[in-house]
C-alpha cells in the first residue's frame, strides 16, 4: 500500500508544471535508528518526513518512532543551500521522554525539552568527492548541560568528514565523526571519535517510474566501544 501511495504521489508530481516551489514527503523504515555513533531506541523504527522548498530555502520536519514505542523524536528544521554549501538549523524534541519537559511550547533555556543545533556543511562536488559537516548545540540546557552548572549550556560540537564514492550501481560513503572538546550531549570527556564507518546505497527498480532506495550502514563508536549495522528502506 505504501509503495502504491508513493507511485501515486510521484505521478501527481510529474503532471504538475515546473515551478520554483517543491513539496516532498516520504518515510524511511530502519532496522535500528543510528545517529552520530549512538543507537537511539531498542527496536526498528519508522521515520516519516516532509519538506517544502523554494529555490535554495527548505522548511521541513522529520521524525522517528520505534515500533515498540520506546523512542520518539520530532524535528523541525530550516536550511538554505547555495551552490555546494548548506546552512541548517534544526529543533529536536523528544515526545514521551521522561528526562525532558514535555511542554512543547516551553523554550526557557534552563528547562525546555527542545534542543537546537546550527550546522554548516560542504556537500561535495564532482571535482571534490568529500563532504564536511560541523554543528553546535545552541539551546536546550536540559539536553546539553554544562558539567559545572546544569542550567547553562555546554555548547557541544560535532564534526563529520565523508568520502563520497561510487562503484557500478552502488554509491557509498566512508565517514568519521568526532567531538573536538568535552561534550555532555555526546557523552565525551574531550576530543573523541564517536562515529566511524561506511554506508552503501542502491536503488532497486520496481517499475519504469519508481525505485526503492536501500541504505546499509556499518558504524562503530570507539568512545563507547560499540558497533552497529542498520538497513534503511525509503518510500
Q: How far are the Cα atoms of 79, 142, 168, 184 from residue 189, in angstroms, in the given order?
A: 30, 18, 42, 8
Q: Which of 137, 80, 135, 136 is nearest to 114 (CA)?
A: 137
pLDDT reading at 4 higher than 90: no
- Sequence length of the chain is 235
Check which CATH number belongs to the domain holding 192 and give it. 2.40.160
Task: State the Cα angle at 24 between 78 and 134, rounded to 5°.
Answer: 35
Answer yes or no: pTM beyond 0.85: yes
Over range 70-82, report the average pLDDT. 97
Residue 111 belongs to domain spanning: 2-234
- Confidence grade of residue 8 (pLDDT, cut at 50, 70, 90): very low
> Could you tell me the three cell numbers for 56?
535554495
| Residues 159-194: tens digit of each pLDDT | 999 999 999 999 999 999 999 999 999 999 999 999
> Could you tell me the three cell numbers for 27?
518515510
- Confidence grade of residue 11 (pLDDT, cut at 50, 70, 90): very low
Whether the CB-CB separation of 220 and 229 falls below 8 Å is answered with: no
Q: Bigger pLDDT: 152 or 18?
A: 152
Over range 193-211, report the average pLDDT. 93
Residues with Cβ within 8 Å of 69's Cβ and at least 6 positions away in sequence, in order, are 96
Number of domains in the chain: 1
- Confidence grade of residue 18 (pLDDT, cut at 50, 70, 90): low
pLDDT reading at 220 higher than 70: yes
Confidence (pLDDT) at 207: 87
Average pLDDT value for the chain: 92
Residues with Cβ within 8 Å of 31's Cβ and at least 6 positions away in sequence, in order, are 44, 229, 230, 231, 232
| Residues 113-164: tens digit of each pLDDT | 999 999 999 999 989 999 999 999 999 999 999 999 999 999 999 999 999 9
Please state, in angstroms and rounded to a whole number, the distance separating the CA atoms of residues 71 and 95: 8
Q: How many CB atoms lie within 10 A of CB 217?
A: 20
Q: How far is Cα of residue 28 from the mean position of the Cα atoms in its chain?
A: 12
Amino acid at each position: 500500500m505504501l509503495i502504491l501511495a508513493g507511485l501515486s504521489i510521484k505521478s501527481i508530481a510529474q503532471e504538475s508544471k515546473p515551478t520554483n516551489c517543491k513539496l516532498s514527503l516520504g518515510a524511511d523504515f530502519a532496522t535500528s535508528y543510528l545517529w552520530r555513533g549512538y543507537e537511539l531506541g531498542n527496536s526498528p523504527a519508522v521515520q516519516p518526513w516532509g519538506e517544502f522548498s523554494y529555490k535554495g530555502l527548505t522548511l521541513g520536519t522529520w521524525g522517528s518512532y520505534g515500533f515498540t514505542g520506546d523512542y520518539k523524536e520530532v524535528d523541525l528544521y530550516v536550511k538554505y543551500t547555495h551552490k555546494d554549501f548548506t546552512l541548517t538549523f534544526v529543533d529536536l524534541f523528544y515526545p514521551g521522554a521522561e528526562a525532558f519537559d514535555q511542554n512543547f511550547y516551553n523554550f526557557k533555556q534552563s528547562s525546555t525539552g527542545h534542543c537546537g543545533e546550527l550546522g554548516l556543511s560542504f556537500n561535495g562536488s564532482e571535482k571534490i568527492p568529500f563532504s564536511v559537516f560541523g554543528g553546535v548545540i545552541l539551546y536546550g540546557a536540559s539536553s546539553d548541560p554544562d558539567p559545572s552548572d546544569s542550567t547553562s549550556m555546554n555548547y557541544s560540537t560535532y564534526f563529520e568528514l565523508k568520502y563520497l564514492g561510487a562503484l557500478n550501481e552502488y554509491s557509498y560513503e566512508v565517514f568519521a565523526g568526532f567531538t573536538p572538546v568535552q561534550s555532555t550531549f555526546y557523552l565525551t570527556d574531550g576530543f573523541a571519535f564517536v562515529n566511524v564507518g561506511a554506508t552503501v546505497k542502491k536503488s532497486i527498480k520496481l517499475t519504469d517510474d519508481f525505485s526503492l532506495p536501500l541504505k546499509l550502514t556499518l558504524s562503530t563508536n570507539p568512545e563507547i566501544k560499540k558497533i552497529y549495522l542498520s538497513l534503511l528502506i525509503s518510500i
